Structure 1
Amino acid sequence: MNTLQDTLRIATYNIHKGVQGVGPRQRLEIHNLGHAIEQIDADIICLQEVRKVHRRQQHYFTHWPDLPQAEFLAPEGYEAVYRTNAVTRHGEHGNALLSRWPVLAHRHEDMSDHRFEQRGLLHVEVDVQGRVVHVIVVHFGLIPASRARQVAQLGRYIEREVPHDAALVVAGDFNDWGTRIQRTLHGIGMRSSDTVRCPTYPSRLPVVQLDQIFARGLKPLSLHVPRGRIWGRMSDHLPLIGEFGLG
């Protein structure tokens, strides 16, 4: 980029592995998701439920992409970072980050709380106009007790791996129908534009905000979900888009 930005636009989106529907009514949405992510026009896009490979669906769908989904979805000029959370019989899926700004480093930590749910966090360091911004992408479990332990693990990870004076973003699918995780993250200095209610799930008739974007060292400015019926077709979640001041 040739001009200096004063805001950072960040999105989080659970893409449901690029496929919607069940059984014979399954449909491939990964191509539509690619166009949608370009329209979001975020500097940093945090993705959950991203396929690296799925051998059965690759044969089932005629137009299954040749590239892993993170690379396929990255708009031109973006870097894609992916790490696997879950290994299944037919493939792998996990979290990904797409960045308009240069990626400096990335790492992964297993957050699985029990053998029925494989979870993890993806930590990426991004160079935004010479400033290092740490971005952590998460996808928490379905069981409340698991989420409590996972947010505690996230807090320990931040304390250990992120400098106290560094800009930090934590975004993803928290699977939390209440405010417990929000209160916990507020307790370690993370903030969001939580004065605005932005339901993201289920996408066709959203009633709850399972997806969140928190920041430390950046100023929350706005939060919204995109409008239009097409968004309800591509995933069971809506994307959440936030803007944060860099000053």
Structure 2
Amino acid sequence: MTGSVPPRAPSVPAVPAGRVRCATFNVLHGLRLLEDGRAPGTEDAAGPAPLAEAVAALDADVLALQEVDRLQPRSGGVDQAAVAAAAMGAGHWRYASALHARALPGGGWVRDPAAPGLREYGPRSRNSPDGVPSHGIALLSRLPVRAWRARRLAAAPLAVPLRSAGRPGLTAVRDQPRAVLAAVLEGPAGPFTAVAVHLSFVPGWNVGQLLAVRRWIADLPRPCLLLGDFNLVGAVPRATLNAAERVRSRLPGAAPGRRGDAWRETARTPTYPSHRPLVQFDHVLASGIGADAVAGACAPRTAISDHRPLVADLALTRCAPCTPAAPARPTTG
């Protein structure tokens, strides 16, 4: 019914035995939306409970989050990555700030020129005296993490007309810097890599960012998962990555491609807008897994965000002969 709020907890099947549940969710800073996609009053959006309930219901082992707030008044002043990690029982997590700034009511940011563009936060920094509000992405894991990486992606130098949650028509929106997080995890069958991304909404610029991420993670172990809001529809991310791999393999002196290294989509289902999904911006792509590795996938409706989460249950066994990893930066808690 128009004006009502969706169910607080999504309906998600149980994780099949022997599978790792991997998910991505653009949480829109935990904002609760009405059944028809409109935003309610601000008083309904504050506080961590809706975010925690939505995350807990996914029952994910590995979860990438986008549009995450840290210490923002609009989301109750909480560390949303820490809230989500506690809700899903993830002992290993990182939050990476894309920008240090305070969100303004109605849109826009007041940036803090003294704060660095990229900073990582984790369990040990939960009670950090750093009180600068920020916005970014998070990668959360129930599985042990061997190493972490983070990097920043520059913003596109132009504004693009976009449809925003709770606003009629189109609004000219300037791009923001983006962050990327990568982790080498200890899976049931050995190490694998998970990479959390949130790419630009500017056409073409997001493709360049995706290719930059591909080069940045080339030395990390397979299987490798790319999870996030790509702002690229349908098969475009997979096709882009595989085309780049074909070009690389034809360069003089390049090593031949390895069986199982092609990028696969673990799910093809629309995720945006959440109240009536029409397109798929959110993806869980995998390289180094077999064709039968996906046991199931879904995109359930939650009470928060204009995106639906994308959930995939995977068998993360190595697809030989995939390359071992070069070491990443060791984790420090």
Short-chain TM bin? 0.7 to 0.9
What displacement does 1:173 show? 0.1
Structure 1 position 113, deviation (Å): 3.6
Q: How does 1:106-121 map to 2 (within 5 A)?
A: 106-114=148-156, 116-121=175-180
Q: Which residue does 2:168 correspond to in 1? A: none
Match of residue 180 from structure 1: 236
Q: Counterpart in 2 of 1:25?
A: 41
Match for residue 169 of structure 1 among 222, 225, 247: 225
1:40 counterpart = 2:58: yes
| Structure number with larger C-alpha Rg | 2
Instruction: Tell me the TM-score normalized by structure 2.
Output: 0.63
**Contact in 2 for aligned 1:8/1:243 (Cα 8 Å):** yes
Native 8 Å contact 2:226 2:284 kept in 1: yes
Task: Name the TM-score, length of structure 1 as normaliser.
Answer: 0.83
Q: Which amino acid aligns with 2:56?
A: E
> CA–CA distance in 2 between the matches of 1:177 and 1:130?
32
Question: Which shows bigger deviation, 19-28 or 198-207?
Answer: 19-28
1:86 matches 2:145: no
Which of residues 278, 299, 306 in structure 2 aligns to 1:225? 299
Compare 18-27 and 170-179 and name the one that shifted more: 18-27
Structure number with the higher strand fraction is 1
Structure 1 stretches lacking a partner, 5+ long: 59-63
SS in 2 for 1:155: helix
User: Are 1:143 and 2:202 an aligned pair?
Assistant: yes
Distance 1:236 1:182, change over 3 A: same
Of 190, 205, 222, which aligns to 2:276?
A: 205
Cα RMSD, aligned residues only: 2.3
Using the TM superposition, give the Cα deviation of residue 23 of structure 1 relative to its aligned residue in structure 2, in angstroms: 8.6
Give 1:46 shift. Answer: 0.8
Query: Using the alignment, how far apart are the partners of 1:78 and 1:240 within structure 2?
Result: 22
- 1:14 partnered with 2:26: yes
Q: Which runs of 5+ in 2 are unaligned?
A: 1-16, 104-132, 158-174, 246-261, 318-333
Q: Does residue 95 in structure 1 map to residue 154 in structure 2? A: no
- Is the Cα contact below 8 Å between 2:156 and 2:202 reproduced in 1? no
| Alpha-carbon distance in structure 2 between the residues aligned to 1:46 and 1:101 | 14
The amino acid across from 2:26 in the alignment is: N
Secondary structure class of the residue paired with 1:36: helix
Alignment of 1:71 onto 2:82: yes
Aligned-pair CA distance for 1:65: 5.9
Structure having the higher helix fraction is: 1
- Name the % identity: 30
The answer as to 2:66 corresponding to 1:53 is no
The secondary structure found in structure 1 opposite 2:60 is: coil
Secondary structure in 1 matching 2:49:
helix
Look up the match of 2:307. Answer: 237
Q: Is the 8 A contact 1:201 1:209 kept in 2?
A: yes
1:206 and 1:52 map into 2 onto residues whose CA distance is: 28
Q: Using the TM superposition, give the Cα deviation of residue 178 of structure 1 relative to its aligned residue in structure 2, in angstroms.
A: 4.9
Partner of 1:61: none
The whole-number CA distance in structure 2 between the counterparts of 1:225 and 1:170 is: 17
Letter in 2 for 1:120: A
Which of these residues, 185, 192, 200, is aligned with residue 265 of structure 2? Answer: 192
Q: Are 2:134 and 1:134 equivalent residues in the alignment?
A: no
In structure 2, distance between residues paired with 1:40 and 1:201: 18
Instruction: Encode CA deviations 1:175-214: one digit per residue, 9 max, x unaligned.
Output: 11353322012344211235xx311100011111110001
Q: Distance in 1 between matches of 2:234 and 2:288?
A: 25
Moved more, 145-154 or 22-31: 22-31
Q: 1:12: how far off?
A: 0.4
Change (3 A) 1:6 1:186: farther
CA apart distance, 1:130: 6.3
Number of residue pairs matched?
Answer: 227
Work out whether residues 54 and 304 of structure 2, in 8 Å CA contact, stay in contact via their aligned partners in 1: no
Counterparts in 2 of 1:65 and 1:205: CA distance versus 1, 3 Å? same
TM-aligned CA distance change 1:77 to 1:224, over 3 Å: closer
1:94: Cα distance to partner? Answer: 1.0
Distance 1:182 1:129 in 2: 26
